């Protein structure tokens, strides 16, 4: 069974710190990876995508991918209370249909 694993948290960080969210996946055929943010009572919102090994930066967010280790991470710099949410990692294997496999999510709490 293809899986995406995340620590459920909560991960608590002080305001202004770097939050590091991690994810591992079991399907070596996965080609694309996504991070979604979900506020309580809201729908998942796509915030980052990454397709190649290495880092991809977008504002305060950096996604990191290591296909050899089957590891994806999301760094949030200068964390703000408004970043408090659940972050879902997802992996896509286009050779197995175009279904995203989601992890269970990590709840992040940024304390003022």
Partner 1 sequence: DAGVIQSPRHEVTEMGQEVTLRCKPISGHNSLFWYRQTMMRGLELLIYFNNNVPIDDSGMPEDRFSAKMPNASFSTLKIQPSEPRDSAVYFCASARTGGWFGYTFGSGTRLTVV
Which residue among 105, 106, 108, 110 contacts partner 1 (CB under 8 A)? 105
Which residue among 11, 17, 75, 100 contacts partner 1 (CB under 8 A)? 100
Which residue among 23, 37, 44, 64 contacts partner 1 (CB under 8 A)? 44
Give me the least distance between CB of 81 and partner 1, in Å please: 23
CA 54/CA 31 separation, integer angstroms:
13
Which residue among 21, 34, 74, 83 contacts partner 1 (CB under 8 A)? 34
CA 111/CA 13 separation, integer angstroms:
6
List % helix, strand, coil for the chain (3-state, nearest 5).
5, 55, 40
CA distances from 96 to 10, 82, 102 (A): 32, 36, 15
Q: Decide if residue 75 touches partner 1 (CB under 8 A).
A: no
Give me the least distance between CB of 92 and partner 1, in Å please: 5
């Amino acid at each position: 069974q293809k899986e995406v694993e995340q620590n459920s948290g909560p991960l608590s960080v002080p305001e202004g710190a770097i939050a590091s969210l991690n994810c591992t996946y079991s399907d070596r055929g996965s080609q694309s990876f996504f991070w979604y943010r979900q506020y309580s009572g809201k729908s998942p919102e796509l915030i980052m995508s990454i397709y190649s090994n290495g880092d991809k930066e977008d504002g305060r967010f950096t996604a990191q991918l290591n296909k050899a280790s089957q590891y994806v991470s999301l760094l949030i710099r200068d964390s703000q209370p408004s970043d408090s949410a659940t972050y879902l990692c997802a992996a896509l294997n286009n050779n197995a249909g175009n279904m995203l496999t989601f992890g269970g999510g990590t709840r992040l709490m940024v304390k003022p």
